[in-house]
Structure 1
Amino acid sequence: MTLLLLFVVLFTLLLLGYPVAFTLAGVSIVFGYFVFGLEFFNLLPLRIYGTMNNFVLIAVPLFVYMGVMLEKSGIAERLLNTMAILFGRLRGGLAIAVIVVGALLAASTGIVGATVVTMGLLSLPTMLKRKYKAELATGTIASAGTLGQIIPPSVVLVLLGSVMNISVGDLFIGAVVPGLLLVIAYIGFVLVVAMLKPEYAPPVPEEEIREFKQGNFLPTLIKTFVLPMLLVLAVLGSIFAGIASPTEAAGVGAFMATILTLTEGKLTITVLKEVMKETTFLTCMVFIILVGATAFGLVFRGVEGDRILVDFIESAALSPYAFLALVMIGIFIAGFFIDFIEIIFIFMPVVTPIFAVYEMNLLWVAILVSLNLQTSFLTPPFGFSLFYLKGVAPPEVKTKHLYRGIIPFILIQLIMIGLLVLFPELVTWLPSLGKGS
């Protein structure tokens, strides 16, 4: 009854709109006092200190800093303009450019909100001016911007690795194939739409392509691609080659992003202050939620919630895949109401031991959860990515355009989840190859 009351009070307050971090911590402390007595206040600081000692979590502020700094550098804007010209003659070329740039930004930043907003500000007015169908334009931008959930270096994967006690490096490597397959599927969909409905995705006018290619086109092209690729290679290359841990690679990425912004002539005291302020804000949000989740986890185990849950599942005689489906549906629905950080810290510590009892591959489960969160981010009516995009969209783009446009991309996401369930090797093959097995 205590466990049930804990969940009812917590979710009621969350649905009423109270801040997640303080609700999680506050409710847990009140229940902790009644469960443990005053001893709870001796136990909680030790648990929080143990969490704060987690070396992996240092990667979070470093990756956030890297993403925010790259956003300020202006590289994304030039990359999008250049890609649009390169694919210009192709019907749907601008949409394909958006997907490719979204994937590159995901591999450079790993921050979904920043990527969606950046892509929306840069590409949505351009796509509408080029007579793209509003639904196709918004769907492409929202889905491409959300690739940061799965394509490494993803903050989601860093947090999942920390909570589920999995190597973050293995998670990054395991996410490569699903991420690439998603990008290919998105591009394939755009090409099919452009072929069946040419008026939805017209090509860039020939004279505009000629005008852009005049002057220093080749040096611009090289500079446009070399700088972001250097950043991606510095971060992911050092991890995949075994030279650096994800935390060390995050430090390399933060340094490289600063250098790139400097080479672009955008690194000023004002920009540095803005980046520091935004990084501090986002990092504080993550870690305050983590403190609340630590208090919740202590109370949950104190009332033997993990044992009760395991006993319930064993008595229900759920198969491993039935339990996986139950968890995935729960996380998907929760993604409508609360952010991925809270979901990872609330759900995953509870269900991970049960996945371990079922002897399921936790690496594979973590990638499935990451893809599921990405899908939830895109799903109306509460998809966070849709809110981000609507916030920067021109007035003529209505909410109905966003909702209609995203449906095909959600179906692609669901198909990808199904493929990973049927073929776990899509996730496990690359990490096992790296270990020589």
Structure 2
Amino acid sequence: MEWIALVMVGVVFLCLVLGFPVAFTLAGVATITGLLTLGPDFFNFLPSRIMGIMSNYVLLAVPLFVFMGIMLEKSGMAATLLKTMAQIFGKVRGGLGVSVIIVGTLLAASTGIVGATVVTMGLISLPSMIESRYNIPLATGIIASSGTLGQIIPPSIVLILLGTVLNVSVGDLFLAAILPGLIIVGSYIIYVLVVAKAKPEVAPPVARHSTDHISVQSIFTALLMPLFLMVAVLGSIFAGVASPTEAAAVGAFGAVLLTVIAGKFSFKKLVETSRETTRLTTMVFFILIGATTFSLVFRGLHGDDLILELIQSAQLSPDILVLLILLIVFILGFFIDFVEIIFIIVPIVLPILNAYEIDLLWVGILLAINLQTSFLTPPFGFSLFYLKGVAPPEVKTRDIYRGIIPFIIIQLVVLTMIYIFPSVLLFFTP
């Protein structure tokens, strides 16, 4: 029976690679396997498991943060930020690239929606970078990697989902993720400046006339909106005033307010934002329900006991076990989405992590950084697809693939650092 559970996992991944819908693949394979092996009465446990998910207060933050991100995209905040940052740093070699990274960071801390961030920056900054004679692979690498910062910089939907599955406080994950996120951002900036210094032709300064006439007021106005939202959302969580879900509600209201202040609000945009939020949230929760069905049958077949027995017989140390899990997640990131990895792999390995008494906060941050790379790794890196969809015709797919490699390496270096020095996570945590 235990080996049937592993066969079930293999069938699921085969179906995903063949393009079957994730939620229905998980639920369908698990249901068929469960009926044939455990009988229909076994599924009497399923309704209570699903209701436990639906009544999970923390998961309510997901639609609220999604709404906040989509509404802010429609407020035009990203365009204003990019223009202002380009004026500030444009005279420096690589300055336009640094501007895109800073804007990606601010948008990550304000929205956390990868697709919206990459598309917005691709539409606005990529033509400007090409016009400024930036090396195309470097330009695309900067935009695609900066757009994924919302996966590690709070408030991150990845961290919310990981916290729910790992049974770790989302607030603690947010605090622990701050320093790794800042290290990744700083590493991006250093890389761009070093490349611009070594090869001035790949990242020249912006033409002088486009960086003139910048006022303190325009800088203040451009930065005020994202900073206000960051303080309202993250500040309320870190100060203990609000839970992540309550802070997400504050963020959703703040996004509407900022859109009104920017003069971009309309009832039509509100309807579009609500519809897109409903679509994305429904997708996540359908996958979660499918994953719950899969996890129930997998444990009913004692698949978790078999994996634990295999690992213990192999005499793997806790550190090697975590390294093996990270390697598996990294490889899977080439082929499937982060939501699927969180809801399929993490529930399978969680009992093993608990048996080895491994710090789940540390594992959560390692997984978040690892999953961030899944947006950048071909052939199915979603950031690459988003960017290619809005890029000018002269930007080829191979340019995007070449440009992203150094930034993947940077993320893996930071991942290795957190793996070797887990105390880094304690910098902002109590």
Alignment TM class, shorter chain as reference: over 0.9
Please tell me the residue identity of whatever aligns with 2:399: H
**Correspondence 1:24 to 2:20:** no
Contact in 1 for aligned 2:6/2:303 (Cα 8 Å): no
* Correspondence for 1:179: 181
Please tell me the residue identity of whatever aligns with 2:183: L
Across the aligned residues of Structure 1 and Structure 2, the Cα RMSD in angstroms comes to: 1.0
Q: CA deviation at 1:208?
A: 2.1
Q: CA deviation at 1:409?
A: 0.8
Determine which of 235, 256, 259 is the counterpart of 1:258.
256
**Correspondence 1:104 to 2:106:** yes
* Correspondence for 2:369: 371
Whole-angstrom CA distance in 2 between matches of 1:41 and 1:358: 30
Determine which of 6, 9, 12 is the counterpart of 2:11.
9
Output one character per residue of 1:325-358: Cα deviation in whole Å (capped at 9) or x when no partner: 1111111111111111110000111112211222
Contact in 1 for aligned 2:106/2:226 (Cα 8 Å): yes
Whole-angstrom CA distance in 1 between matches of 2:230 and 2:28: 40
Whole-angstrom CA distance in 2 between matches of 1:322 and 1:309: 15
* Correspondence for 1:225: 223
Q: CA deviation at 1:372?
A: 0.6
Q: Secondary structure at the match of 2:148?
A: helix
* Correspondence for 1:129: 131
Determine which of 156, 160, 163 is the counterpart of 1:161.
163
Once the two structures are overlaid, the 10-residue window that deviates more, 252-261 or 109-118, is: 109-118
Q: Secondary structure at the match of 2:427?
A: helix
Whole-angstrom CA distance in 2 between matches of 1:282 and 1:172: 22
Whole-angstrom CA distance in 2 between matches of 1:376 and 1:232: 26
Contact in 1 for aligned 2:69/2:112 (Cα 8 Å): yes
Contact in 1 for aligned 2:133/2:202 (Cα 8 Å): yes
Q: CA deviation at 1:206?
A: 1.6
Whole-angstrom CA distance in 1 between matches of 2:402 and 2:198: 18
Whole-angstrom CA distance in 2 between matches of 1:428 and 1:315: 33
Contact in 2 for aligned 1:363/1:428 (Cα 8 Å): no
Percent identity, please. 59
Please tell me the residue identity of whatever aligns with 1:386: L
* Correspondence for 2:388: 390
* Correspondence for 1:268: 266
Query: TM-score, normalised on structure 1?
Result: 0.96
* Correspondence for 2:420: 422
* Correspondence for 2:209: 207
Whole-angstrom CA distance in 1 between matches of 2:290 and 2:373: 26
Cα 1:72–1:192 shift into 2, 3 Å:
same
Whole-angstrom CA distance in 2 between matches of 1:235 and 1:262: 18
How many residue pairs are counted as aligned between the two chains?
428
Contact in 2 for aligned 1:381/1:403 (Cα 8 Å): no
Q: CA deviation at 1:20?
A: 0.5
Contact in 1 for aligned 2:336/2:380 (Cα 8 Å): no
Output one character per residue of 1:128-166: Cα deviation in whole Å (capped at 9) or x when no partner: 011100011000001110111100000000000000000
Q: CA deviation at 1:393?
A: 0.7
Whole-angstrom CA distance in 1 between matches of 2:210 and 2:408: 34
Q: Secondary structure at the match of 2:379?
A: coil
Whole-angstrom CA distance in 2 between matches of 1:146 and 1:353: 29
Determine which of 66, 72, 75 is the counterpart of 2:74.
72
Determine which of 281, 284, 291 is the counterpart of 1:283.
281
Q: CA deviation at 1:123?
A: 0.8
Q: CA deviation at 1:220?
A: 2.1
Query: TM-score, normalised on structure 2?
Result: 0.98
Output one character per residue of 1:69-114: Cα deviation in whole Å (capped at 9) or x when no partner: 0000001100000000000111111000000000000000111121
Determine which of 147, 150, 171 is the counterpart of 2:149.
147
Output one character per residue of 1:180-213: Cα deviation in whole Å (capped at 9) or x when no partner: 0111100000000110111111111222222x43
Output one character per residue of 1:377-404: Cα deviation in whole Å (capped at 9) or x when no partner: 2123332211111111111000111111
Whole-angstrom CA distance in 2 between matches of 1:366 and 1:402: 29
Whole-angstrom CA distance in 2 between matches of 1:415 and 1:115: 24
Whole-angstrom CA distance in 2 between matches of 1:110 and 1:222: 22
Q: Secondary structure at the match of 2:232?
A: helix
Output one character per residue of 1:305-333: Cα deviation in whole Å (capped at 9) or x when no partner: 11111111001111112111111111111
Contact in 1 for aligned 2:151/2:368 (Cα 8 Å): yes
Whole-angstrom CA distance in 1 between matches of 2:386 and 2:129: 18
Q: CA deviation at 1:52?
A: 1.0
Output one character per residue of 1:253-288: Cα deviation in whole Å (capped at 9) or x when no partner: 000000000111111011111101110000000000
Q: Secondary structure at the match of 1:411?
A: helix
Q: CA deviation at 1:5?
A: 2.4
Unaligned runs of 5+ in 2: none
Whole-angstrom CA distance in 1 between matches of 2:271 and 2:370: 35
Q: Secondary structure at the match of 1:430?
A: coil
Whole-angstrom CA distance in 2 between matches of 1:51 and 1:155: 16
Output one character per residue of 1:19-50: Cα deviation in whole Å (capped at 9) or x when no partner: 10111111111112123312133221111011
**Correspondence 1:347 to 2:349:** no
Please tell me the residue identity of whatever aligns with 1:354: I
Contact in 2 for aligned 1:110/1:149 (Cα 8 Å): yes
